[in-house]
Amino acid sequence: MTPNNHIILVNEQDEALATMEKLEAHQKGLLHRAFSVFIINSRQEMLLHQRASHKYHSGGLWTNACCSHPMPGEEVEQAAHRRLQEEMGFDCPLQKLFTFTYHATFDNGLIEHEYDHVFLGTFDGSMAPNAEEVEAHGFFALPDISALIRDTPERFTYWFKMAYPTVLEHLGQR
């Protein structure tokens, strides 16, 4: 296995304990370091993307601009910039907002147990989403997103629904 297939296992204080192959960590449901990037534009609309259907979990669901795991030896913010470029085809300044921990079991038996670092950026330029990662994308008004989550929560990823209300608070929208 190459190092980029490994993720960082952590304790409840986000202290690194070990590394493990990503799929194995998700099969065992072990707590690991992750990040989620939220992007707004100058009109206070949020960038959402629909995950590619073939993703190992949550395929076809709508979520924030990007999310992933830092590689061993990689700082979380550095990883967030890397993945934003790899998934959405752009980069922008990011501000760390908060962290949270969650545990979710998916229909395919995989388990997300993440210590998630949440970042926010503002971007108005063009993007080139990676078709291997993204089926659809767009900027959406915050009230519309809130209504969609309320009315059709099954269309969104678990972590997005958990983080979104706190992101709104940071944007002064709650």
DSSP string, 5-52: GEEEEE-TT--EEEEEEHHHHHHHT--EEEEEEEEE-TTSEEEEEEEP
Cβ neighbours of residue 94 closer than 8 Å, sequence gap 6 or more: 37, 77, 80, 81, 84, 119, 120, 121
Q: Which residue, 35, 40, 36, 37, is CA-closest to 173? A: 40
Closest alpha carbon to 77 in 92, 55, 57, 87: 92
Q: Which of 66, 87, 112, 114 is catalytic?
A: 114
> What is the spatial distance between Cα 78 and Cα 10, in angstroms, rounded to a whole number?
18
114 is catalytic: yes
133 as an active site residue: the answer is no
Q: Which of 66, 67, 87, 133 is catalytic?
A: 67
Active site members:
67, 114
